Amino acid sequence: MPKVEKISGGQVFIKSIGQHFSLGDRADVGEELAAYLCDERGDFAIVEELPEPADLTVDEDSDDLEDKTVDDLQDLAAEAEIGGRSKMNKDDLIEALRDEREE
Range of the domain at 23: 3-47
User: Percentage helix, strand, coil, to 5, in the chain?
Assistant: 50, 15, 35
Residues 72 and 86 in one domain: yes
* Res 101: pLDDT: 80
Q: What is the mean pLDDT of residues 35-47?
A: 94
Adjacent-strand bridge partners of 12: 21
- Whole-angstrom distance, CA of residue 50 vs CA of residue 14: 25
On the question of pLDDT at 71 being above 60, the answer is yes
* Res 100: pLDDT: 85
Residues 88 and 62 in one domain: yes
* Res 64: pLDDT: 82
On the question of pLDDT at 13 being above 90, the answer is yes
pLDDT band (50, 70, 90) for residue 16 = very high
**What total of structural domains would you count in the chain?**
2
| Mean confidence (pLDDT) of the chain | 86
Residues 87 and 61 in one domain: yes
Q: Is 96 left (phi over 0), alpha (psi -120 to 50) or beta?
A: alpha
